[in-house]
């Protein structure tokens, strides 16, 4: 039993260290030796658990996406879809987890943002780890707002793009706003929700204006 706990602790340390290194240097700039050193383990143990940098990167994304997706679904399940403001709850359920503890802070925020615009390695991980939940949110947006699949898919994508633009919490948004203090998590969630709702309402009006 003691050995199993040691292995578990090592795995957590390795994944935490890898997350930091991939955040700082990207996939290409992160080295297995640097990851092992940051984790306080030997490179032999690192290779024993993960073999290659590709596999380690995949596991970093899978671990964090699982936490984000579980929280997203818990929040989405709590939304009463019959309420007039259900769309606010759906959007908040989408954007809150990556900004909070499940999102892993600034380290994974950089990885998360890079996944969406990354190369085939990243796109494959997005399809595996995020697309199934994304489709649930597209369905929920459509149901809450009364819009079709095409508009709901566009609304999801644009909301995610807005989230990615602020998720790094690097102060740029606040500089452009002319304020010194960083936006809090609650402020970001509230403002993205209002912004997304306005866009979704515009899509809804556009859909209603289309000729039969």
Report DSSP letters for 62-117, one per residue. HHHHHHHHHHHHHHHHTS-TTSTTHHHHHHHHHHHHHHSGGGTHHHHHHHHHHHHT
Say what angle helices 32-39 and 43-50 make with each other, to 10 degrees: 110
| Length in residues, the chain | 212
Identify the architecture of domain 1-51 in CATH. Answer: Orthogonal Bundle (1.10)
Domain extent listing, the chain:
1-51, 60-209
Residues of the chain with pLDDT below 70 are 1-7, 207-212
pLDDT at 7: 47
pLDDT at 209: 67
Q: What is the pLDDT of residues 29-80, one digit of tens each?
A: 999 999 999 999 999 999 999 999 999 999 999 999 999 999 999 999 999 9
N-terminal to C-terminal alpha carbon distance within the chain: 67
pLDDT at 59: 96
pLDDT at 205: 78
Nearest alpha-carbon partner for 98 in 78, 72, 77? 72
Say what angle helices 53-77 and 120-129 make with each other, to 10 degrees: 40
> What is the spatial distance between Cα 112 and Cα 135, in angstroms, rounded to a whole number?
18
With b for 16 or more beta-carbon neighbours within 10 A and e for fewer, the 33-54 pattern comes to ebbbebbebeeeebeeebeebe
CA angle 175, 154, 91 (to 5 degrees): 60
User: 60-209: which CATH topology?
Assistant: Tetracycline Repressor; domain 2 (1.10.357)
pLDDT at 169: 85
């Amino acid at each position: 039993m003691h050995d199993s706990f040691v292995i578990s602790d090592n795995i957590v340390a390795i994944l935490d260290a890898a997350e930091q290194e991939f955040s700082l240097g990207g996939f290409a700039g992160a080295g297995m030796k640097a990851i092992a050193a940051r984790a306080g383990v030997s490179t032999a143990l690192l290779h024993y658990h993960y073999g290659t940098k590709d596999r380690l990167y995949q596991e970093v994304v899978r671990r964090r996406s699982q936490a984000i997706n579980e929280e997203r679904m818990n929040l989405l399940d709590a939304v009463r879809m019959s309420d007039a403001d259900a769309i606010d709850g759906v959007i908040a359920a989408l954007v809150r987890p990556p900004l909070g503890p499940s999102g892993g802070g600034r380290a994974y925020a950089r990885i998360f943002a890079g996944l969406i615009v990354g190369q085939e390695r990243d796109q494959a991980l997005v399809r595996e780890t995020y697309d199934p939940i994304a489709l649930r949110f597209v369905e929920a947006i459509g149901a809450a707002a009364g819009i079709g699949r095409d508009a709901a898919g566009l609304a999801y994508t644009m909301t995610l793009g807005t989230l990615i633009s602020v998720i790094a919490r690097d102060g740029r948004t606040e500089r452009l706003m002319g304020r010194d203090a960083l936006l809090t998590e609650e402020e970001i969630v509230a403002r993205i929700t209002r912004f997304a709702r306005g866009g979704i309402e515009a899509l809804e009006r556009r859909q209603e204006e289309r000729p039969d």
